Amino acid sequence: MPSRNLRIAPTTAPVRPAADPVLAALASLRAEMEIPTEFPQDVLDDAAAAAATDVSSGRADLRAVGFVTIDPPGSMDLDQAVHLERSPGGFHVRYAIADLGVFVTPGGALDAEVNERGMTLYGPDERTPLHPEVLSESAASLLPDADRPAAVWHVELDERGEIVSARVERALVRSTARLTYEEVQARLDAGDAGEMLDLLREIGLLREARERERGGVSLNVPEQDVVVHPDGTFGLAFRSTLPVEGWNAQISLLTGIAAAQLMRAGGVGIFRTLPAADPRDLARLRRTARALGIDWPQDVSYGDLLPTLDSGTSRHAAFLNEATSLFRGASYAPFGGVGQPQEVPDDAAHAAIAAEYAHVTAPLRRLVDRYGTEICLALSAGAQVPTWVREALPGLPRTMARTGQRAGSYERSSVDVVEAALLAGRVGEEFDAVVVDVENDDERRRRATKDAERAAKAAAENGSAASAAGDASAGAAGPATDGQGLVRGQVVIAEPAVRASVQGVGLPLGDPVRVRLREASIELRKVGFDLV
């Protein structure tokens, strides 16, 4: 699925002094965005009581199944555990998902709090979890060598990796290992991963092939990782995603597709949706490919082109970064909720996946997944979907949109702080860089409008609103470049691993350039370069 990859590693290093300007800027950011720093006491009490409850009765006993989790190093909020095996007609996928439904009482203090938070937020210095840690990193997390309640998906695949059947049940599981992507990839490359992990590669490759056949796309965009050093300082690194990450993601995707099929058949559910790319954006991307010297024949689809690209090549990386903007407007489409028709809304598919799809695999970190899981559990058992779930469905898209926007803004701004800290005191220095993004005309007009609106607000506060409004109108209809002919875009600096704004007269997309640091402000969370 296309996205700009950003990962903030779990913080295990000691916290630095509060007077540290980076920590102060991050704390200021959280205050500015009204991000909670702790849970209210009644919520903690609810969570503690839930964690102490025996939730093992009435479940299938799958503790003998050798589930494993695969996550970034240091992760403790483990939503998923996988087990794969061959079956007479193909493959049997078991996917255990943390069962939050047994811990969160509808209408209680904990339920209200998680509906307000929406999702877990990740910052360089600390994490703002969706659920209290007594649940998210203990009782509900699928940690190894511990009995845990789970919603276990059983998905039968044929020999081509197509879904034949799927069901989900409440079960008791016991993960046997907490693995990292790096560990699994190393074992696969060395040839000693074992049958189950070998099947992860085999099934992952089959599902990637089926995705391309459907017209779906996955982007191997380099990740920008925020890392915490042993001394408590922060750093940045660019990292190409590993093949195993894509294969593991395919297990989650096929589960979401199976969930959507179950919801459609049952007449109640909530799909994750994404509209098809605008033909104008696709035409722009083809022009970008030509500018970068990438051969993209007219009879080759976008999805078939992507596997031929290498994110380690600067021109290919620039193209992949541009491609992340091809699909916009992700949302949620509920149906069958209280006061809603049972029919699936028109255009409810996910264009990047090229299928109907539902979020059900990350309930520890994303609110909507708990509701989706409860729907599928009920439908799979032939039972009525709980009323509290159907009542919540109409409002979930608004909740997820609000909290998703906050999460994206917070994580991006947090990285801006770290970038500024790494470059503080180096204004005027020159760096080697690669141009990975150049604003198109629509983006320039949007930026001009936004800048003018900010100016109008400031002017209004000073009693000159009429003049500012005129400036806003002029800015919105202005030329593609600013008054000095400068074009704006994004560059990637190899050392330190920074992606930041750049301006210059003509930005050569995909080309190596020299840039000069114009500003680096920790307090303003801003880094800017000029093309030399």
| AA identity, residue 371 | Y
User: Across the beta sheet with 60-61, what order do the strands follow?
Assistant: 60-61, 163-174, 147-158, 90-98, 80-87, 68-71, 177-180
| pLDDT score recorded for residue 54 | 93
| pLDDT score recorded for residue 383 | 97
**Band (442; pLDDT cuts 50, 70, 90):** low
What residues contact 246, with CB distance under 8 A and at least 6 apart? 204, 208, 218, 220
Mean pLDDT, range 198-203, rounded to an integer: 98
| AA identity, residue 268 | V
| pLDDT score recorded for residue 460 | 55
More confident residue, 531 or 289: 531
Cα dist from 157 to 91, 167, 194, 243, whole Å: 5, 12, 20, 21
Choose from 142-156, 236-250, 276-290, 328-342 the range with maximum mean pLDDT.
Answer: 142-156
For 186-190, 347-351, 372-376, 449-453, which range has the lowest pLDDT when averaged over its residues?
Answer: 449-453
Q: Please state the φ and ψ torsions of residue 182, each to the nearest 5 degrees.
A: -65, -40
| pLDDT score recorded for residue 6 | 47
| In the predicted structure, residue 18 carries a pLDDT above the cut 60 | no
| pLDDT score recorded for residue 86 | 97
**Band (477; pLDDT cuts 50, 70, 90):** very low
**Band (512; pLDDT cuts 50, 70, 90):** confident
Mean pLDDT, range 426-455, rounded to an integer: 72
Choose from 120-129, 219-228, 368-377 the range with maximum mean pLDDT.
Answer: 368-377
| In the predicted structure, residue 287 carries a pLDDT above the cut 90 | no
User: For a pLDDT cut of 70, what percent of the chain falls above it?
Assistant: 88
- Phi/psi region, residue 337 (left: phi>0; alpha: psi -120 to 50; beta: rest), is beta
| pLDDT score recorded for residue 3 | 38
At what angle are helices 396-423 and 367-380 packed, to 10 degrees?
140
The string of DSSP letters for 430-449 reads EEEEEEEEE--HHHHHHHHH
| In the predicted structure, residue 258 carries a pLDDT above the cut 70 | yes
C-beta of residue 140 within 8 angstroms of C-beta of residue 29? no
> Residue 272: beta bridge partners?
332
**Band (497; pLDDT cuts 50, 70, 90):** confident
Cβ burial of 176 (10 Å; 0-12, 13-18, 19+) is middle
| pLDDT score recorded for residue 123 | 87
| pLDDT score recorded for residue 453 | 58
**Band (310; pLDDT cuts 50, 70, 90):** confident
Tell how many helices (H) and how many strands (E) occur in the chain.
15, 19
| AA identity, residue 175 | S
| In the predicted structure, residue 330 carries a pLDDT above the cut 60 | yes
| pLDDT score recorded for residue 236 | 80
**Band (440; pLDDT cuts 50, 70, 90):** low
Q: What spatial distance separates the first Cα and last Cα of the chain, rounded to whole Å?
A: 35
| pLDDT score recorded for residue 323 | 81
Nearest to 332 by CA among 395, 276, 383: 395
- Phi/psi region, residue 126 (left: phi>0; alpha: psi -120 to 50; beta: rest), is beta
Mean pLDDT, range 154-158, rounded to an integer: 98
| pLDDT score recorded for residue 450 | 56
Cβ burial of 269 (10 Å; 0-12, 13-18, 19+) is buried
User: For a pLDDT cut of 90, what percent of the chain falls above it?
Assistant: 61
Mean pLDDT, range 219-235, rounded to an integer: 76
**Band (468; pLDDT cuts 50, 70, 90):** very low
| pLDDT score recorded for residue 82 | 98
Mean pLDDT, range 439-446, rounded to an integer: 61
**Band (441; pLDDT cuts 50, 70, 90):** low
More confident residue, 471 or 27: 27
pLDDT digits (tens, 9 = 90+) for 19-31: 588 888 999 999 9
More confident residue, 459 or 421: 421
Q: What is the average pLDDT value for the chain, to the nearest integer?
A: 86
| pLDDT score recorded for residue 87 | 96
The alpha carbon of residue 423 and the mean position of all alpha carbons in its chain are separated, in whole angstroms, by 27
**Band (466; pLDDT cuts 50, 70, 90):** very low
| In the predicted structure, residue 455 carries a pLDDT above the cut 60 | no
